[in-house]
C-alpha cells in the first residue's frame, strides 16, 4: 500500500543560469513541473511576471522530428538486417550519446538528402499511378484507329463515348435507323457496366443522332490534351512507366546506401526530442527580466539530489508538503514481487491521493486466481518459461516489462494448481502412453480432479472469494481508522463481518462443527440489530435512522452476489480442463500405431496451442474483473494522475548516467 510521499517545490533562479539548471533537472528526472496558468490569471502575479518559453522553437523542433520520423520509417523498410522479436532502446552512456550526435550538420545533411530521395520516389510513384490509371482508361478504346483529337470533318461528325451495359443495342441501332441511314456505329468494347462506342454521322444530322444516343444514356468520353490514337498513347505511357521503374530502382538503391546511417539518425531524433522538451518546459515557467520561477512536485526520497543541484546554481527554493485536500501526482512504490502487478492497477486507474495503493494486497490474489482458472502444469511452464526467456534476452522496459514479470508469476501459480489438480496438458501423457506405447500411465492429483469433483472446487472457490471480499472490507476499515474514524470501521465493516459470518454459521455451521448453527443464529441477530441501530446514523430523526438501518440489511444480497461471482473460478478452470480432455479424445481416435501416433501429436500441438491462447486471455480478463468489481468496489477510489517527471524521454536510445 505504497503511494510515494510527494512534496511541492518552488524555485527562483537567475535567467543566466536557467538553461544549465533545466538540463541538470532533466538529467535528474525527479521533478514534475506544474503549469503556471493559474498564476497568470492572478493580477498580483501578472504585474511582475510573464510566461517564459518559445512556441516557435517548439514548433520548429516538432517539424524536424516529424521529418526525421518519416526518414526513419523509410530506412526501416529498406533495412534487411534481422529484426529482434521486441524493439528495445540501445543503452549508451552520456558521452557515447554526445559522440553519436557530434556531427549534427553531417547527420542533418543525410536527413535532407533522404527527404529529397523520398520526395522524388513519392513523386515517381504518384506519376506511375496516374499513368497506370490512364492506360486502364484507354484500354477499352484500343481498337479505335483515329486520332483522339479528331472529332469532325467538313461533312462528318464523330461521337466517342459510353452507354450503360443494360441497354438493348439492337434497339439503339433501330432508333438510329429511323433518323438516318447515313451513320456508322461501332462497339469497341464492353464490360458489366457499359458499352464503349463510336458513332460517325453526317454533320448536318449530328444533332438528331446525338438526341437518339442521349435517350440511351450516352456520355461523351473526354480525352483531355491527348493526341494520336489510344494505342499510340498507351505505347508512350508504357515507355514512360519503364523509365519510372528504372528511376525508382536507382532511388531505392540510393536509399539503401543510407541504411548504415540509421542509428545516427535515430540518435539525432532523440536529441531533437530532448531539446524540444527543454524548450517546451519553459512554457510552464514564469520569468522577469533577470529571474525565473518554477513550481512542481518531487518525491520525498529525491529531495537531497535536487537540493545539491539547486545549491550549485545558488537558487532560492522552498520544499513543502501538499496542503490538506490538495491533489498531487501519484507514484507507486512496491516490492519486487508486487511491482509487476501495478500494470493491473494502472489498467483500472491510479489511486487518488486520499486512497491507498492496493497493488501489494491484490497481487497474490490475482496470481492465485489466474493459476486456479488455468490450472495446468504444461501451460504454466510455457507461460513462465516464455516470460523468463524474454526478460533475460531482451532489454524491455515499462509496462511490457511489468506484464512479462506478472505473467511469469502467474505461470508459477498455474503450475502449482496444475499439480494440485493433476493436469499436465490435461491428460495428454496418459493418452500418449496408451496410443504410442499401449501402456497405462496416470498422474494422480495431489488434491482433487475438478472434472470429477466440481462441487468441491466450487465450495473452495466461494470460500476463496469470501476471504478476498473480507480483505477488501478490511482495507476499508483500515482507511477509516487511518482517517480518524474508528467507529465507522466498527459499524460499517465490523458489524457486517459478524452478520455475514453469523449467517454462514447458521446455515452451514453444523456440517463443520456441531452446534455452531446456534452460535451463528445469535451472531446474526446481534449484529443485525447492530446494523439496524448504526447504518442510519447520518439521518435526522429516530424513525428515519431505524428505517435506514432496516433497509441496509438488504445489502446482504449484494454480498451474496459478490460471492457467487467467484464461481467463475470453477467455470474457467473446468473450461480449460474439459477442452484439454476433448483434445486428448480427438487425438486418440486413430487407435494405436505409427499413423495414429503422428495424428495424436498433430492434434495435441494444434489443440493445446488453441486452448492455452484462448483460455489465457479469458483468465487474464476474468482475474482482473474479480479485482476491479468485487475487490476494488469495497474500498478503492481511482482518478489519480500519474507522476510525470521532466526527464529525457527518448525513443531509440537509453542514456545511462
User: What is the percent of the chain with per-residue pLDDT over 90, rounded to a whole number?
Assistant: 80
Phi, psi (deg, nearest 5) at residue 53: 105, 160
How remote is the C-alpha of 421 from its chain's centroid? 35
Which of 222, 252, 278 is a domain's end point?
Answer: 222
User: pLDDT band at residue 1, thresholds of 50, 70 and 90?
Assistant: low
Residue 245 CB-half CA count within 13 A:
8
Task: Read off the pLDDT of residues 499-533 as tens digits, 9 standing for 90 and up.
Answer: 999 999 998 888 778 878 889 999 999 999 999 99
Residue 575 located in a structural domain: no
pLDDT, tens only, 196-223? 999 999 999 999 999 999 999 999 998 8
Q: 178 phi and psi, to 5 degrees?
A: -70, -25
Eight-class DSSP state of 203: G
Is the pLDDT score of 537 beyond 90?
no
Q: 129 pLDDT band (50/70/90 cuts)?
A: very high
Query: Which residues does residue 318 pair with via DSSP β-bridges, in sequence order?
Result: 10
3-state secondary structure of 221: coil
The mean pLDDT value of the chain amounts to 93
Residue 242 lies in a domain: no
Section 96-110 average pLDDT = 91
**Last-in-domain residue among 207, 222, 237:** 222
- Quote the pLDDT of residue 324: 85
Instruction: Provide mean pLDDT across the span 87-110.
Output: 91
Q: pLDDT tens-digit profile of 8-37? A: 999 999 999 999 999 999 999 999 999 888
Sequence-ordered list of residues with C-beta below 8 angstroms from that of 387, at least 6 positions apart, any chain: 404, 405, 407, 408, 411
Structural contact between residues 600 and 585, judged by C-beta atoms closer than 8 angstroms: no
pLDDT tens string 401-442: 999 999 999 999 999 999 999 999 999 999 999 999 888 888
User: Would residue 483 count as lying in a domain?
Assistant: no
Query: Which of these three, 171, 204, 222, is where a domain ends?
Result: 222
Residue 412 backbone dihedrals phi, psi, to 5 degrees: -65, -40
State the CATH number of the domain containing residue 214: 3.30.70.2750
Name residue 186's beta-bridge partners.
Answer: 198
Give residue-wise pLDDT tens across range 240-256.
999 999 999 999 999 99
Residues found in the chain: 657
Query: pLDDT, tens digit, for every residue of 436-461?
Result: 988 888 899 999 999 999 999 999 99
pLDDT of residue 370: 98
Range of the domain at 187: 150-222
Grid coordinates representing 214?
442521349
The confidence band for 63, taking pLDDT boundaries of 50, 70 and 90, is very high
CA–CA distance, 379 with 426 (Å, rounded to integer): 10
CA dist., res. 544 & res. 539, Å (int) = 6
CA distance to 165, 188, 195, per residue, from 191 (Å): 7, 11, 7
| Axis-axis angle for helices 104-138, 55-78 (nearest 10) | 60
Q: Helices 169-179 and 206-215: crossing angle, nearest 10°?
A: 150
Confidence at residue 186, expressed as pLDDT on a 0 to 100 scale? 93
Q: Does 230 map to a domain?
A: no
Asked whether residue 164 carries a pLDDT value surpassing 70, the answer given is yes
Task: State how far the Cα of 68 lies from the Cα of 90, in Å rounded to an integer.
Answer: 18
Q: 156: which residues sit within 8 A by CB, 6+ positions away?
A: 200, 201, 202, 203
pLDDT, position 610: 96
- In the sheet that 219-220 helps form, which strands lie side by side, from edge to edge? 183-190, 194-202, 156-164, 219-220
Structural domain contains residue 398: yes
| Residue 142 covered by a domain | no
Domain count along the chain: 2
Q: Does a structural domain hold residue 606?
A: yes
Within 10 A of 158 (CB to CB), how many other CB atoms are there?
17
Query: Based on the domain organization, do 449 and 595 belong to the same domain?
Result: yes
Instruction: Annotate 445-473 with DSSP letters as a single string.
Output: -SS--TTT-HHHHHHHHHHHHHHHHHHHH
Residue 388 lies in a domain: yes
- For residue 4, the model assigns a pLDDT of 94
For residue range 594-608, list pLDDT tens digits in order. Answer: 899 999 999 999 999
Amino acid at each position: 500500500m505504497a503511494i510515494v510521499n510527494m512534496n511541492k517545490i518552488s524555485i527562483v533562479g537567475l535567467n543566466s543560469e536557467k538553461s544549465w539548471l533545466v538540463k541538470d533537472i532533466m538529467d535528474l528526472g525527479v521533478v514534475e513541473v506544474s503549469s503556471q496558468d493559474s498564476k497568470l490569471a492572478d493580477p498580483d502575479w501578472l504585474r511582475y511576471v510573464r510566461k517564459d518559453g518559445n512556441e516557435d522553437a517548439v514548433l520548429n523542433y516538432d517539424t524536424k522530428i516529424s521529418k526525421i520520423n518519416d526518414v526513419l520509417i523509410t530506412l526501416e523498410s529498406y533495412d534487411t538486417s534481422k529484426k529482434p522479436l521486441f524493439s528495445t532502446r540501445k543503452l549508451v552512456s552520456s558521452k557515447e550519446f554526445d559522440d553519436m550526435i557530434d556531427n549534427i550538420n553531417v547527420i542533418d545533411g543525410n536527413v535532407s538528402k533522404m527527404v529529397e530521395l523520398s520526395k522524388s520516389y513519392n513523386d515517381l510513384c504518384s506519376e506511375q499511378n496516374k499513368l497506370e490509371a490512364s492506360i486502364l482508361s484507354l484500354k477499352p478504346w484500343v481498337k479505335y484507329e483515329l486520332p483522339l483529337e479528331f472529332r469532325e470533318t467538313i461533312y462528318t461528325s464523330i461521337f466517342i463515348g459510353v452507354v450503360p451495359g443494360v441497354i438493348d443495342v439492337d434497339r439503339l441501332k433501330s432508333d438510329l435507323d429511323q433518323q438516318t441511314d447515313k451513320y456508322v456505329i461501332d462497339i469497341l468494347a464492353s464490360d458489366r457496366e457499359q458499352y464503349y462506342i463510336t458513332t460517325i454521322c453526317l454533320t448536318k444530322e449530328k444533332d438528331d443522332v446525338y438526341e437518339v444516343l442521349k435517350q440511351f444514356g450516352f456520355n461523351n468520353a473526354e480525352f483531355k490534351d491527348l493526341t494520336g490514337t489510344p494505342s499510340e498513347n498507351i505505347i508512350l505511357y508504357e515507355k514512360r512507366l519503364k523509365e519510372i521503374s528504372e528511376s525508382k530502382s536507382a532511388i531505392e538503391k540510393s536509399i539503401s546506401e543510407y541504411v548504415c546511417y540509421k542509428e545516427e539518425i535515430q540518435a539525432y531524433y532523440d536529441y531533437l526530442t530532448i531539446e524540444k522538451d527543454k524548450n517546451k518546459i519553459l512554457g510552464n515557467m514564469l520569468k522577469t527580466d533577470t529571474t525565473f520561477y518554477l513550481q512542481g512536485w518531487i518525491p520525498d526520497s529525491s529531495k537531497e539530489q535536487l537540493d545539491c543541484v539547486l545549491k550549485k546554481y545558488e537558487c532560492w527554493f522552498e520544499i513543502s508538503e501538499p496542503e490538506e485536500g490538495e491533489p498531487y501526482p501519484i507514484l507507486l512504490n512496491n516490492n519486487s514481487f508486487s511491482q509487476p502487478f501495478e500494470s493491473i492497477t494502472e489498467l483500472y486507474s491510479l489511486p487518488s491521493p486520499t486512497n491507498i495503493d492496493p497493488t501489494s494486497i491484490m497481487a497474490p490474489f490475482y496470481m492465485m486466481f489466474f493459476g486456479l482458472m488455468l490450472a495446468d502444469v504444461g501451460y504454466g511452464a510455457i507461460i513462465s518459461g516464455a516470460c523468463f526467456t524474454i526478460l533475460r534476452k531482451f532489454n524491455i522496459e515499462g509496462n511490457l516489462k511489468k506484464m512479462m514479470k506478472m505473467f511469469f508469476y502467474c505461470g508459477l501459480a498455474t503450475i502449482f494448481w496444475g499439480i494440485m489438480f493433476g493436469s499436465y496438458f490435461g491428460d495428454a501423457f496418459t493418452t500418449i502412453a496408451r496410443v504410442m506405447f499401449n501402456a497405462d500411465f496416470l498422474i494422480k492429483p495431489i488434491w482433487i480432479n475438478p472434472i470429477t469433483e466440481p462441487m468441491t472446487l466450487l465450495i473452495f472457490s466461494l470460500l476463496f472469494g469470501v476471504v478476498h471480499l473480507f480483505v477488501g472490507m478490511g482495507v476499508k476499515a483500515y482507511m477509516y481508522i487511518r482517517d480518524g474514524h474508528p467507529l465507522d470501521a466498527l459499524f460499517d465493516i465490523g458489524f457486517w463481518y459478524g452478520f455475514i459470518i453469523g449467517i454462514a454459521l447458521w446455515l452451514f455451521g453444523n456440517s463443520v462443527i456441531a452446534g455452531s448453527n446456534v452460535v451463528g443464529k445469535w451472531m446474526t441477530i446481534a449484529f443485525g440489530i447492530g446494523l439496524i441501530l448504526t447504518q442510519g446514523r447520518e439521518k435526522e430523526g429516530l424513525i428515519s435512522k431505524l428505517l435506514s438501518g432496516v433497509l441496509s440489511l438488504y445489502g446482504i444480497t449484494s454480498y451474496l452476489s459478490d460471492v457467487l461471482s467467484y464461481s467463475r473460478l470453477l467455470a474457467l478452470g473446468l473450461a480449460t480442463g474439459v477442452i484439454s480432455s476433448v483434445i486428448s479424445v480427438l487425438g486418440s481416435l486413430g487407435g494405436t500405431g505409427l499413423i495414429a501416433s503422428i495424428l495424436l501429436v498433430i492434434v495435441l500441438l494444434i489443440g493445446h496451442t488453441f486452448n492455452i491462447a484462448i483460455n489465457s486471455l479469458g483468465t487474464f480478463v476474468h482475474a482482473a474483473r474479480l479485482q476491479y468489481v468485487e475487490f476494488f468496489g469495497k474500498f478503492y477510489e481511482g482518478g489519480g494522475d500519474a507522476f510525470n517527471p521532466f526527464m529525457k524521454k527518448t525513443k531509440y536510445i537509453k542514456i545511462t548516467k
